[in-house]
Amino acid sequence: MWRKVNRVLIFSLMLTCCCLQVSAEPAPPDPGQAIGRSLSIIRSATAEKPQVLKILFYGQSISSPKWTDLAIAALRAKYPNVAFEYRNLALGGWNAVLLEQAVARDVEETYPDLIVFHVYGDHRAYERIIRILRSKTASDIIIQSDHVVIPLEPLCDPGLHLRWAPLEGCEGHFWFKQKNWEEFMSGVWEPAMAAKYDLALEPRRQRWNTYLQENNLQSTDLLADPPHPNAKGWTVMAHLFTSWLEELADLPQNNGPNTAGQVRSFTPPVPGEKTRYEFDGNRAELIAAGPLDGKVNIKIDGKDPGELDGCWQTSRVTRLPNVPDWPALKKVNVRPTYHEADVWTLRVRHLDISQDVFDFEIESARTGADGSGSSKDVFNSLSGNVTIQPDAWNLSHAKTVSGKGLAEEQSFQWERRFACGDELETVLPNGSVQQRHVLATGLPNTHHVVELTVTSDAPAILELRAYRPPLIE
């Protein structure tokens, strides 16, 4: 009887396997199209008409300035007519789950032309970060596969197999999955994310492995404290990135669909005349040859910029003294409709030995004492302007990592500031300047109407630029 049941079961499994439809994963897009706008900026720059490319490097410790500074220096030497304006807001030690809490604030503040991203950790949080990047900005995005820390293994053919022993690169019995997490992320998950969200995938892992083979090196020869590279490894990481980007820029312009459609250029307004624009997106700027603060009269959907929630942004919280790369809190929620410049000071006291449990009080520079609370409770300020969640604190994790705790009465600050107006000017290679004047940002990603008048004595305006994120959440 049992033999008959087993034969039926085995036959059913075989039939199931035979009926399974094996479909190839969608291929990542051509990187030359996925970052088409950034490449167009690089290609079109000349001595007479220099260009600006704003870059944000984002992630954790592998996105260190130890290689990004080298990469920018190399790009500036290769493309002298491009002003590479860049920031590195990577947070060492923050995996994808932690970084998810900080990413929206960070990209809304910077709103770059190009984001270069790498992070370890939970693949679901990784995708949620990508969705935030895609819904908050119109930026081109490069995601980077992992460099080689342990020798590469074959990609596993996951799923049901009629064998007990796992295939090479797999683990499990009958139902197999990738044994090495980095191999899964770099070989399966990240290519799938690139295909799904139209991202450029830098093949750092494959190129790193090729470099090891061509130079007869072991993976440990480029590592300090794994997974962190040594000095030679950081140099290799920078070279692999810049050489790959240069190869893309040297290719002829691809006339297929690219990201340029996410950023739309309008003819500049005539000084002294009221001009009306309509656009879809969440941000609009004027690109000018000098400062425009005080020279632009504007209404956006009938409102002044000061009435728009997105024009008011909150800074990161100041850094922890024991882990200087980290803000004291991952995230502070400030009421979006709080349209006032302000600075808050937070003081901690009664810290327990783990620095997981403590009390604190907050003071607003504008409204005064704003309440006190406990790290284990949701905090809502007396004014109603500030909310802090219990999982936002970094103090306990910082003590665990550094072995050092905070002193009683340690204080931290963050600020609320108006973000619409002149950004810091960019000095161009020919000595002139480019001024980005933010008309509005953080708008709902829908249709908007802009009516503006620029004074007759305003510096020359080159264009009005509108940004439309490709993902609507």
- Beta carbons within 8 Å of 7's beta carbon, 6+ residues apart: none
Q: Where are the domains of the chain?
A: 31-250, 267-308+420-467, 312-418
pLDDT at 403: 97
Number of Cβ atoms within 10 Å of the Cβ of 416: 23
pLDDT at 258: 66
| Amino acid of residue 147 | H
Report the alpha-carbon distance of residue 201 to residue 365 in Å, rounded. 45
Beta bridge partners of 417: 313
| Amino acid of residue 271 | P
Judged against a pLDDT cut of 90, whether residue 58 lies above it is answered with yes
Q: What is the pTM of this model?
A: 0.91
Q: Which residues of 385-400 are buried (b: 16+ CB within 10 A; e: fewer)?
A: bbebeeebbbbbbbbe
pLDDT tens digits, one per residue of 323-343:
999 999 999 999 999 999 999
Q: What angle do CA 56, 59, 61 make, to 5 degrees?
A: 115
Domain 267-308+420-467 class in CATH: mainly beta
Residues in the chain: 473
Lowest mean pLDDT among 11-15, 32-36, 146-150, 337-341: 11-15
Report the alpha-carbon distance of residue 427 to residue 70 in Å, rounded. 20
Tell me 189's DSSP state.
I
Report the alpha-carbon distance of residue 388 to residue 377 in Å, rounded. 9
β-pair type (379-380, 386-388): antiparallel
Closest Cα to residue 305, out of 450, 139, 469? 450
Q: CA-CA distances (angstroms) from residue 251 to 73, 87, 257?
A: 22, 27, 16
Extract the tokens encoding 322: 């024991």
- For tokens 């049941």, the residue is 5
Lowest mean pLDDT among 73-77, 129-133, 186-190: 186-190
Domain 31-250 CATH superfamily: SGNH hydrolase (3.40.50.1110)
Classify burial at 423, counting beta carbons within 10 Å of its beta carbon; exposed 0-12, middle 13-18, buried 19 or more: middle
Q: State whether residue 277 is helix, strand or coil.
A: strand
pLDDT, the chain, mean: 93
pLDDT tens digits, one per residue of 334-393:
999 999 999 999 999 999 999 999 999 999 999 999 999 999 999 999 999 999 999 999
pLDDT tens digits, one per residue of 232-278:
999 999 999 999 999 999 998 766 566 768 999 999 999 999 999 99
Judged against a pLDDT cut of 50, whether residue 22 lies above it is answered with no
Q: Tell me the mean pLDDT in the region 200-215.
A: 97
Report the alpha-carbon distance of residue 77 to residue 396 in Å, rounded. 43
Judged against a pLDDT cut of 90, whether residue 161 lies above it is answered with no
Q: Are 329 and 342 in contact (CB under 8 A)?
A: no
pLDDT at 18: 40
- Helices and strands (H and E) in the chain: how many: 12, 24
pLDDT at 17: 43
At residue 211 the predicted structure's pLDDT band, cuts being 50, 70 and 90, is: very high
Closest Cα to residue 263, out of 440, 466, 110? 466
Tell me the chain's radius of gyration from C-alpha atoms. 26
At residue 14 the predicted structure's pLDDT band, cuts being 50, 70 and 90, is: very low
Q: Are 84 and 76 in contact (CB under 8 A)?
A: yes
pLDDT at 257: 60
Judged against a pLDDT cut of 80, whether residue 178 lies above it is answered with no
Q: Tell me the mean pLDDT in the region 7-15.
A: 44
pLDDT at 21: 37
Residue 155 Cα to chain centre, angstroms:
27
Tell me 146's DSSP state.
P
Q: Tell me the mean pLDDT in the region 139-168.
A: 87
Task: Give the phi and the psi of residue 469 in degrees, each rounded to 5.
Answer: -60, 140
